Amino acid sequence: MTSAGRSLPQVSQNELQAMAYRDPLTGLGNRYRLRDKVRLIAAERADDPAPFTVGIVNLDGFKPINDLFGSQAGDDILCQVAHRLKACIPDGATVTRHDGDEFAFLLPLVFEKTSAERLGQMIKEVLSAPYDLGDRNVRLSASFGFAVYPFAGEEFEELMKSAETALYRSKRRGRGQITVYSREIAQEMKRSTQLEQALRNAIIADSVEVHFQPIVRIRDASVVGFEALARWNDPDLGFVSPAVFVPLAEERGFIDALSDTLLRKAAEAALSWPRELFLSFNLSSAQLMDPGTAGTILATLGRVGLDPARLELEITETAVMTSADTAERIIAELRQSGVRISLDDFGTGQSSLGRLRDFTFDKVKIDRAFISRITTDRASEHIVKAIIAMCDGLDLQVVAEGIEEWADAEKLKTLGCAMGQGYYYGRPVDAAATLRYLQTHHRDFLPTQETA
């Protein structure tokens, strides 16, 4: 009894239990509700373990929206997501909310991968429609991970861990992806995690190396510069291709640390070359999204003592378009400091001509896909000829990549291509071997030359 003689409202045991199983924001069930539902259906099918599926959906880019518009707007979106999910899941299915922007499903009548992917695609389209925040609309994508019982696990925790592994793979592959767990995917993720840890350790130990491939003047095969290429030999893993570990560093968010290490080593090596030779270095799409990239590069050059005018940064069309405004500012800042910018893999993008119009480049590198067929395919020859003529009109230098035969070099010479690189002129080698190369291929190079 209260002092006023009234009793406080009593909460029944059933009401307490319902509260324990419900998400207070959306009214959906929570993880405990999903756990009990999964255990119940698994027990029902124990004698004849017919498959069923659990899934997890995570909203892509929800945190920036929440930070930008406030937690109330974030809560409104989550409630709208819950309403859409309840409306579109199949009869007999269950949808619950986990922490944050993550929701989960129990799908009793989804028995295999194709059905899970089809349902995921349908739900993804439903969730991609605009969300109403009163005075504005926002759009979000969603990533999915599914796990099929009993192949992906027989216990609730094991099933959910498998679904989370599949979701993690979806998030790694980009926004709006759908993945159904398999043992192959689990092994892939395990190998990827092991590789990530080994690469992080290699960066800390300064054991990722730089090799250099010569870039030459085609008319007389004299060397004019070198492209820096990453090389990694791990004591346990052996040689790991840069086509594997560079994208991994981008995906896992430590490409800056890797690039800083490689640029420092490459710039230090370039100090031992004749001053007229340039250093060509590749930038990733992630770096062209970071406004601090130009400052970081110039600071590295300053610490090493390499003139920015000797550095040439190679970027791809895809990298430029990932965040065009930021990329444009980075390119402008670097060029103002004397760094030259080269458009790499020219001819393979969907709108390379547009990039030449919208951005300021100093050089274009013709992709090896055209060079490798220049003597056998008339279309490739005419494409290369047209690129050279166009770049001449735009006052852009041209480098042909992937020259492997004498005939390729001779054809490019007759077409007026100024520079080239490829195995015909030299394979990538380490810094010491690069100095030996210069002793035989550069007339002004002195074997005893010290770092400037």
Going by DSSP bridges, is the β-strand pair 102-107/52-60 parallel, antiparallel, or unpaired?
antiparallel
Domain boundary pick from 157, 181, 205: 181
Q: Are residues 245 and 129 in the same domain?
A: no
CATH of the domain at 273: 3.20.20.450
Please, which residues have CB within 8 angstroms of residue 233's CB and are 6 or more apart in sequence?
Answer: 209, 239, 240
- According to the model, what pLDDT value does residue 135 have? 79
Q: Are residues 163 and 202 in the same domain?
A: no
In a domain? residue 9: no
Domain holding 294, by residue range, is 193-441
Domain boundary pick from 139, 158, 181: 181
- According to the model, what pLDDT value does residue 270 have? 97
Q: Are residues 302 and 428 in the same domain?
A: yes
In a domain? residue 411: yes
Q: Are residues 163 and 205 in the same domain?
A: no
Q: Are residues 142 and 264 in the same domain?
A: no
CATH of the domain at 76: 3.30.70.270
> Tokens 């019982």 appear where?
149
In a domain? residue 275: yes
- According to the model, what pLDDT value does residue 15 have? 65
Q: Which helix (H) or strand (E) is 402 found in, with range?
A: none
- According to the model, what pLDDT value does residue 451 have? 40
Q: Are residues 18 and 131 in the same domain?
A: yes
In a domain? residue 5: no
In a domain? residue 424: yes
Q: Are residues 247 and 365 in the same domain?
A: yes
Domains in the chain, number: 2
Q: Are residues 197 and 176 in the same domain?
A: no
- According to the model, what pLDDT value does residue 435 have? 95
Q: Taking a C-beta distance cutoff of 8 angstroms, is the pair 113, 148 a contact?
A: yes
Length of the chain: 452
Domain boundary pick from 159, 181, 203: 181
Q: Are residues 21 and 97 in the same domain?
A: yes
pTM, rounded to two decimals: 0.70
Residues β-bridged to residue 147: 54
Instruction: List, run by run, the mean pLDDT of 10-residue segments along the chain (452 residues).
Output: 49 66 91 93 83 94 80 92 94 90 94 94 94 86 93 91 91 86 87 91 95 95 95 93 90 90 97 96 88 94 97 84 78 94 76 63 88 87 90 90 92 93 95 93 57 40
Q: Taking a C-beta distance cutoff of 8 angstroms, is the pair 401, 409 a contact?
A: no
- According to the model, what pLDDT value does residue 448 have? 39
My answer on whether omega of the bond before 150 falls inside 30° of 0, hence cis, is yes
Nearest to 249 by CA among 237, 260, 233, 238: 260
Q: Are residues 102 and 210 in the same domain?
A: no
- According to the model, what pLDDT value does residue 277 have? 96
Q: Retrieve residue 81's tokens.
A: 């997501």
Q: Are residues 410 and 275 in the same domain?
A: yes
In a domain? residue 168: yes
The stretches of 289-361 forming alpha helices (DSSP H) are 293-304, 317-322, 324-336, 352-358
In a domain? residue 6: no
Task: Write the Ramachandran bin of 22: left for phi over 0, alpha for psi from -120 to 50, otherwise beta.
Answer: beta
Q: Are residues 431 and 327 in the same domain?
A: yes
